[in-house]
A and B are shown apart, each in its own frame.
Chain A
Amino acid sequence: MSERVHSSPPVGSYVTVWALLILLLALTLGSSFIALHGLNFAVNLAIACAKAALVAVFFMRLRRSDALTRLAAAAAVLWILILVSLGLADVLTRV
């Protein structure tokens, strides 16, 4: 039991991740009110990906998961990339 207690990350590290998430929220909201010459969508999407990665790695503990679990998570992302890229390949190449 004490082994598990020691292996748990301290409360502070979770709070730090949360603070980063709130900071990214402020960034994405703030950037949306500034015209970035068509880059607003890319900035918002990049920040959303960063937030999702923080949640997945720290809150969903992928940082500490074994290879099998990480593979399951990575497979999900792979299927999504296939779905979106093949789908867009059709939409974007239509005349």
Chain B
Amino acid sequence: MSVPHRSSVGEFGMWVFLASEMLFFSVLFFGYLVTRLHHPLGFASASRHTDVVIGSVNTAVLLTSSLMMALAGRSAAAGARRSAAGLLAATAGFGLIFLALKGLEYAHDAQHQLVPWRDFSLAFEPDAGGTRLFFWLYFIMTGAHALHLLIGITLVLTLMVVVARARHAIRHAETVEIIGLYWHLVDVVWIFLYPLLYLVSRT
């Protein structure tokens, strides 16, 4: 049953902040869209060089981290200090796994010379300008996302310490909920990045 729930000022404030975050990423997505409209060939061929296995595993990792975060909010609301702290640790843990896999992927990208501002291996393919722009967008967008995730991990780990030490976890329930909103938004950004960077042309 959904019981009427009065949102806090903090919850509202976080949503307003998230709106500005969404617009920030929308500009990147819009830039991607326009560039892709102009370079369909380059985008198709370049995207085939992204690591679809790591990209897909990382999507599952981040979705699971969001489940942990949602459950942490639930535990904190129930005043369950230990499980809330444990679930926050799991949330941050999945975030760190994502970043580790992303780092591995960047290393592979560098190995295959897919870094557009260095010796670029796709420079002689048809629509080379498009392939270069794709990988510029790939690094800017995944980089901006990774930075947000890093901030999220720092917030969640700090919150975990606070909750673990708290006499009454329920007092921090609202903070867990609000930090959770930020965490979930970072997940949503990736939900859109994933098909745009990894699934452009796989047939």
A1-B170, A7-B5 are known contacts. Are A15 and B74 too (CB-CB below 8 A)?
no
Whether A14 contacts B195 by the Cβ 8 Å rule is no
Name A5's closest neighbour in chain B (CB-CB).
B78
Please indicate the chain A residues that have their CB under 8 angstroms from the CB of B69 in the complex: 59
Given A4-B170, A18-B67, are A28 and B195 also a contact pair (CB < 8 Å)?
A: yes
Dominant SS at the A interface? helix
Q: What's the Cα separation between A7 and B33 when bound, in Å?
A: 42
Using known A-B contacts A7-B5, A25-B56, A64-B3, determine if residue A80 contacts B202 with beta carbons closer than 8 Å: no
Interface size on A, residues (CB 8 A): 54
CB distance B191 to A84 under 8 Å? no
Query: What 1/0 flags go to A66-94 for Cβ under 8 Å of B?
Result: 10110011011101100110011001100
Are A8 and B74 in contact, CB atoms less than 8 angstroms apart? yes
A47 and B202 in contact, given A1-B79, A4-B170 (Cβ under 8 angstroms): no
Q: A47: which B residues are within 8 A, CB to CB?
A: 195
Contact of B64 with A by CB under 8 A: yes
User: When chains A and B are docked, how far (Å) is the Cα of A77 from the Cα of B19?
Assistant: 8
Residues on A with C-beta less than 8 A from B191 are 48, 51-52, 55
Given that A33-B202, A52-B188 are known contacts, is A14 also in contact with B37, CB under 8 Å in the complex?
Answer: no
- B15 CB-CB contact with A under 8 Å: yes
**B16 interface residue, CB < 8 Å from A?**
yes
A32 touches B7 (CB 8 A): no
Instruction: Give the distance to chain B from A67, nearest Cβ to Cβ, in Å.
Output: 9
* Per-residue contact bits, chain A 33-76, to B (CB 8 Å; 1 contact, 0 not): 11100001100110110011001101111011110110011011
| Cross-chain contact of A87 among B2, B15, B30 (Cβ < 8 A) | B30
Q: How far is the CA of A69 from the CA of B22 in the complex (A)?
A: 15
A95 close to B (CB within 8 Å): no
A56 to B15, CA, bound (A): 11
Residues 1 to 34 of chain A near chain B (Cβ within 8 Å): 1, 4-9, 11, 14-15, 17-18, 21-22, 25, 28-29, 32-34
- Closest Cβ of chain B to A78, distance in Å, is 10
- Contacting B63 at CB < 8 Å: which of A22, A72, A83? A22
Known: A9-B74, A65-B11, A83-B23. A91 touches B188 (CB 8 A): no
Instruction: Flag whether B167 is at the interface (Cβ < 8 A).
Output: no
Instruction: List chain B residues, Cβ under 8 A from A91.
Output: 34, 37
Q: For the complex of A and B, list the 3 residue pairs with the smallest distance between their C-beta atoms, beginning with the closest.
A: A76-B19, A44-B195, A72-B15
- Other contacts beyond A59-B70, A73-B19, A76-B15: 13, CB < 8 A: A7-B3, A14-B67, A22-B60, A34-B203, A35-B203, A52-B188, A55-B66, A66-B6, A66-B7, A72-B16, A79-B26, A80-B26, A84-B29
